[in-house]
Structure 1
Amino acid sequence: MIYPQNFEQKIGFDQIRSLIKEKCLSTLGIDYTDRMTFSTGYESIREQLNQTWEFVRILENADDFPADFFFDVRPSIKRVRIEGTFLEEAELFDLRRSLDTIQRIIRFLYPGEEEEIKYPYLYKLSKEISSFPDLIKRIDLILDKFGHIKDNASPQLAHIRSNISATLSGISRSLNAILRTAQSEGFVDKEVSPTMRDGRLVIPVAPSYKRKIRGIVHDESASGKTIFIEPAEVVEANNRVRELENEERREITRILTSFTDELRPAIDEIIYSYEFLAEIDFIRAKALFAEEIGGVLPTFENTRQIEWFHAVHPLLYLSLKRQGKTIVPLDLTLDEKNRILLISGPNAGGKSVCLKTVGLLQYMLQCGLLVPMHDNSRTGIFKDIFIDIGDEQSIEDDLSTYSSHLTHMKYFVRNANENSLLLIDEFGGGTEPQIGGAIAEALLDRFNQKHAYGIITTHYQNLKHFAEDSEGIINGAMLYDRHLMQPLFKLSIGNPGSSFAIEIARKIGLPEEVIAAASEKVGSAYIDMDKYLQDIVRDKRYWESKRQNIRQREKKLEELTARYEADLIALEKQRKELLKQAKGDAAQLLAEANARIENTIREIKEAQAEKEKTRIARQKFEQFKTELEEAPTVDDKISKKLKQINDRKKRKQQKR
């Protein structure tokens, strides 16, 4: 349920609808955009959101989506339900091209059984849709690629057009002969050629020579300097052409009527296919709009919740973007513990924008539109959205602004429940502050008892105190820079905000004695409390900045730690690879050393008493041993083998 009737206008959704219409390819999508409405069905909304999100991916990744020939032929198709009616040539051409577009879209969404379906939600839309390939083939027998009736659309039409062509050729020859004679006699200029007037071939002649050529005068130029004569010799032939053209039109009508008779039994199914084409046009426009505003698909659950990060008002975002400015995003959480957020703060500080942002984004979401916020946000669903914002004074109904406000409150109290989202601006305003604040507090208590959710803006101190003491309600403040004396348009949740009335009055330039008198009237307690609120907000900003810096440093530290851990893992892997390689090299050296040892022993044995050969063999072995000892290795087997060689050498010397 949406309240009041002009809800869309109040939150700016009518402008959103217009922007989406501009992105539609035809009246197909525009009609669907007009039918776009607020929904409370979870599955329906989820499907719409996923369809749009899939189309965003198509826009980002695929440049071959069929986006041409989105013609709305539904009025023409509905018109020919009556027997004897037929589609005109242009209507038939639009039907053929748009049916082909439907066929190509279906193929795009379902490339084949062996290929993965990339866009399941869009494919689901196309599963039961027919593209009528037989109708397309039948139209191709009637129309050429330019949308004109083919000569061979029927044997009779081919015969008629052949006769027309032959007759026109005869007329042309006769006219040219007459024209040449007239030119040679000076009745007609040399550069003149036959022309067409009222479907008949004629010769342009100066008025002074109109008696020189026997025939019928058909027309006169605007200047009166030329008349157009149909020579008597070709009148009969031109009449024949007229007769043949009438026969041609009758045959074309017969062909189109015959085709329409074939099409008529499938009209309902054809219209159903065009509803699919209309929905695709609509989804495409929604996806284009989402790209423009940075819309995403956040987590969407079948529960009442608002946990938004970096949410922005799309219309304000586009406006500021055109001005080269940036928008301040909104972080907001409403849950079972804190269902109602009471926002206070200075005028023109962004309270109303915050409220409208919540109303617009929630409404967009439940209309199946992607919303501009961080994709880690969590969104939910509400059965009712009620809004009370702006001046509702009515001369006709004799209602003041406050009376209108109370009328809305009466409706809210009667209809609000745990599934409702209330959006109330300047709660309690418009009447005498003391009683206005009391009524507002009583209403707020009632809304809280009903477990409704809501965003409420106010300046009333009693409401801030009530929120502080009531479970289910939480204070929030729009931040204000006391030094620069300007709003920051940033929402801070947890504490109430100051109106900064004294500071703003001083900045504007009210006399200091007026400000002092006002301060004295409200009393030191009020002034002290307002300063206390300002100090709280200031301190909160300070500590929030500190926390933000700490979070950033922690994040940087986590990134560094992760990087170092990755480097250590890589180094360990590299060390193992080097060790493995070194062991392999060592094994190879060991094998070579064993071979050298055996070879040296064999040479010494073979040399026996030949001292020179023995000396040379020992010298070679000593050189190899030195090289082996100097070579870098990680394997102790080499050292062990060298020790064995030295021990063997000593034993041989002792033996010798």
Structure 2
Amino acid sequence: TVLLLHGFFKTFKLIYPLMYETAQMLPLHPEIQALIEAKIDPYGQVMDDASTLLKETRRNIQSTESQLASSFSKAMQAALKADLLDDIKESVVDGRRVLAVIAKNRRKVKGAVLATSKTGSIVYILPESTQLLDQDLQLLRIQERDEVVRILKAITDELRLYQDVLALYQDYLADLDVLRSKALYAKDIEAVLPKITPEKMIDLVEAYHPLLLVHNRQKNIKTIPQSLKLNEQQQIIVISGPNAGGKSLTLKTIGLLQVMLQSGMLIPVSEKSQMSFFDTILTDIGDNQSIENQLSTYSYRLKTMRLFIRKCNANTLFLIDEFGTGSDPELGGALAEVFLEAFYDKGSFGVITTHYTNIKALADQLDYAVNANMQFDKRSLQPLYELVTGEAGSSFTFEVAQKMGIPYHLINKAKKKISSSKVRLDKTISKLQTERHKLRQHTAQVAKEKDKAQEQAQELEDKQQKIQDKLEQFQQLYDYNNKMLQLGRAFNGWLNRYFQTNNKKQLNADFNKFVQQEKIKYTKKHPPKKLTKAAKKKEQAVIKKEQEALKKVEQEVKKKTKVISVKKQQEAKAQAQAIANYDYKVGDIVRVKDGWAQGTVEKIEKKKLLINYGTFTALVGKADIELIKSR
């Protein structure tokens, strides 16, 4: 396999230069392949010729199997005649053919009982006549197996010298297998390589979660992409919004795509996306409480935050889902604020999801942190799965509860249990999100109409320009034709006077006068540039030099063309003579001279040919015909 790959990459080294360089670094040992192929066939079986003993053993096995089959057939025929067998007649037990004897007839058949059916109605008996042959066959198979093992051990001993090389080959093939898997998966999810930047940033444009993309594609469901940006001016994003609105999925999409990229995989994003590499990626997603380790949700969170604080720096990306949960909302929220400030002060990049109002407020206060929310349609009570950066989102607690079928009177009762200011704040955020969603829809519609208007304006401008160009062309054509008419009238007048008077001198005078008038008109339209004496002298010298060169070229051309002309005339004369003397035959393809339609000669008369043009026939003289293709 390595030798084949080496040859393949050598052939296509211009297409796969890096793969070619990698293959070139491998030490090649064709003797390994020769050593294996001498004993083992392409299907991985040890060949008969691997040893004399193996060849003889397999020949004996074939002979014994043939004898055994013949003996078994005789025993089965005898049992059938005696009506001792079940409908299935025979079976195989431990690799041996046995008779399927009806249980009540077991004593009527001589042989060894090897098994019975589950119901006990059938007894499987090895006929006595085949027992010795069967024993011989089993011994021969053991002998064959032992010889195969001996041969394989001998090959292994010889290959042991190449142990390091084979290990290198195995690593190389494993790397290629992984690379191919990455390429096939990238093709399946339509992945690309985003622009890799040296500065720390994540700028995802139209990013998809690869697993969700494949899952939705199989069910013919549209997947909504997400766009998100992390950089030095926006190093932490706090995502809020309704439950089941896509917060956690967005978080997982960011983490998974970053890990995929740093693992050498292409990712399903727009080619406009830009990303960089992080030294450490820390995640806290999901509930990891453990009975064995005696960890509650909050204990696990604290343990994780301790690790995050120790590991975080400017080259770290952290992702935290449901930040601050697991304890009392006020106390846990206060501790979560402190953790967020610690991550911020270390210059770490991160994305967190939360429902806590104090975390959202802190994100607004920090210069390089920003709020974001998942959009929710209050009319349909459906999440829109769209991430909008710049403002915090409402949890839509009561709206989601209403959607899930919670009785309305219980929802109202819950509303009365919380402070009115909290309800007003949530309503304000909810209303703000709704208005922002409407504004975005309106802005998108206006932008769409503006683009359409610009396209129409550009189209009208292009049409107007084309019409203007056509008008200019028509005007130029009109002026040219008008001038040609005037020139034609003038020539017609001179010719008429010449035909009447036969005065050549007057004709020349009229022509020279006309040329002089046209020259004056041209000079007025295109006045000559004023040149100095030196410039005039230089121009005259250039003109004289060009005229001399032109005269010399003309003489050479005349000399050469004269020879060519004589030769062409001779060839034309010979060709004309050959055509004139050609004896036309039925089936020749011909055409009328100076014509284009081709026909087939159907009949030959003295000086004429009957030509079939497909839809009609014509009788044409031989002198007016030229040959296209003889039969």
TM-score between both structures, scaled by the size of structure 2: 0.61
2:314 to 392, 397, 418: 418
Q: In structure 2, do the counterparts of structure 1 residues 556 and 377 end up closer, same or farther at CA, with 3 Å as the change threshold?
A: farther
Question: Over residues 271-307 of structure 1, what are the superposed CA-to-partner deviations in whole Å (9 max), with x where a residue is unaligned?
Answer: 2212222222223333333344443332233442211
Output the amino acid matched with 1:307: D
Residue 638 of structure 1 aligns with which residue?
A: 484
The answer to whether the 8 A contact 2:192-2:269 is kept is: yes
Q: In structure 2, do the counterparts of structure 1 residues 571 and 404 end up closer, same or farther at CA, with 3 Å as the change threshold?
A: same
The answer to whether the 8 A contact 1:141-1:153 is kept is: yes
State the SS of the aligned residue for 1:338: coil
Measure how far apart 1:245 and its partner are.
8.5
State the SS of the aligned residue for 1:489: strand
Q: Gapped runs of 5+ residues in structure 2?
A: 85-91, 98-104, 117-121, 503-631
State the SS of the aligned residue for 1:342: strand
Residue 440 of structure 1 aligns with which residue?
A: 336
Determine whether 1:429 maps to 2:328: no
State the SS of the aligned residue for 1:276: helix
Measure how far apart 1:155 and its partner are.
6.3
1:358 to 251, 254, 267: 254
Output the amino acid matched with 2:4: R
Q: Gapped runs of 5+ residues in structure 1?
A: 1-98, 190-195, 212-216, 584-631
The answer to whether the 8 A contact 2:93-2:114 is kept is: no
User: Hey, what's the Cα distance between the residues in 2 that align with 1:486 and 1:331?
Assistant: 20
User: Hey, what's the Cα distance between the residues in 2 that align with 1:344 and 1:200?
Assistant: 71
User: Hey, what's the Cα distance between the residues in 1 that align with 2:291 and 2:46?
Assistant: 64
User: Hey, what's the Cα distance between the residues in 1 that align with 2:290 and 2:59?
Assistant: 75
Q: Which has the higher mean CA deviation after the structures are superposed, 137-146 or 152-161?
A: 152-161
Q: In structure 2, do the counterparts of structure 1 residues 241 and 469 end up closer, same or farther at CA, with 3 Å as the change threshold?
A: closer
User: Hey, what's the Cα distance between the residues in 2 that align with 1:274 and 1:370?
Assistant: 25
Output the amino acid matched with 1:281: D
Q: In structure 2, do the counterparts of structure 1 residues 432 and 245 end up closer, same or farther at CA, with 3 Å as the change threshold?
A: closer
RMSD: 5.1
User: Hey, what's the Cα distance between the residues in 2 that align with 1:282 and 1:258?
Assistant: 33
Residue 522 of structure 1 aligns with which residue?
A: 420
The answer to whether the 8 A contact 1:388-1:425 is kept is: yes
Return the index of the structure with the highest Cα Rg: 2
Question: Over residues 162-182 of structure 1, what are the superposed CA-to-partner deviations in whole Å (9 max), with x where a residue is unaligned?
Answer: 89989999x89x999xx99x9
User: Hey, what's the Cα distance between the residues in 2 that align with 1:304 and 1:462?
Assistant: 28
1:133 to 24, 30, 36: 30
User: Hey, what's the Cα distance between the residues in 2 that align with 1:640 and 1:555?
Assistant: 52
Matches within 5 A, 1:287-436: 287-395=183-291, 399-436=295-332
User: Hey, what's the Cα distance between the residues in 2 that align with 1:571 and 1:132?
Assistant: 75
Output the amino acid matched with 1:286: K
User: Hey, what's the Cα distance between the residues in 2 that align with 1:532 and 1:200?
Assistant: 83
User: Hey, what's the Cα distance between the residues in 1 that align with 2:114 and 2:366?
Assistant: 92
User: Hey, what's the Cα distance between the residues in 2 that align with 1:401 and 1:242?
Assistant: 64
Q: Which has the higher mean CA deviation after the structures are superposed, 382-391 or 446-455?
A: 382-391
The answer to whether the 8 A contact 2:10-2:20 is kept is: no
Matches within 5 A, 1:250-649: 255-395=151-291, 399-501=295-397, 503-504=399-400, 508=406, 509-510=408-409, 514=413, 517-518=416-417, 521-523=419-421, 526-553=422-449, 634=480, 638-639=484-485, 641-649=487-495
Q: In structure 2, do the counterparts of structure 1 residues 363 and 563 end up closer, same or farther at CA, with 3 Å as the change threshold?
A: farther
Output the amino acid matched with 1:277: L
Measure how far apart 1:467 and its partner are.
1.7
Determine whether 1:143 maps to 2:43: no
The answer to whether the 8 A contact 1:417-1:451 is kept is: yes
Residue 6 of structure 2 aligns with which residue?
A: 106
Output the amino acid matched with 2:315: N
Q: Which has the higher mean CA deviation after the structures are superposed, 551-560 or 415-424?
A: 551-560
TM-score between both structures, scaled by the size of structure 1: 0.59
Question: Over residues 320-374 of structure 1, what are the superposed CA-to-partner deviations in whole Å (9 max), with x where a residue is unaligned?
Answer: 4454433322111111110100111222322222222222222222233332222
State the SS of the aligned residue for 1:510: helix
User: Hey, what's the Cα distance between the residues in 2 that align with 1:210 and 1:302?
Assistant: 87
Question: Over residues 459-491 of structure 1, what are the superposed CA-to-partner deviations in whole Å (9 max), with x where a residue is unaligned?
Answer: 232332322232110110111112222221211
User: Hey, what's the Cα distance between the residues in 1 that align with 2:384 and 2:175?
Assistant: 42
- Percent identity reads 32
Q: In structure 2, do the counterparts of structure 1 residues 163 and 514 end up closer, same or farther at CA, with 3 Å as the change threshold?
A: closer
User: Hey, what's the Cα distance between the residues in 1 that align with 2:108 and 2:248?
Assistant: 84
Output the amino acid matched with 1:522: S
Output the amino acid matched with 2:155: F
Question: Over residues 59-110 of structure 1, what are the superposed CA-to-partner deviations in whole Å (9 max), with x where a residue is unaligned?
Answer: xxxxxxxxxxxxxxxxxxxxxxxxxxxxxxxxxxxxxxxx4xx4333333x1
User: Hey, what's the Cα distance between the residues in 2 that align with 1:324 and 1:225?
Assistant: 55
The answer to whether the 8 A contact 1:197-1:218 is kept is: no
Q: Between Structure 1 and Structure 2, which shows a larger proportion of strand residues? A: 2
The answer to whether the 8 A contact 1:221-1:227 is kept is: no
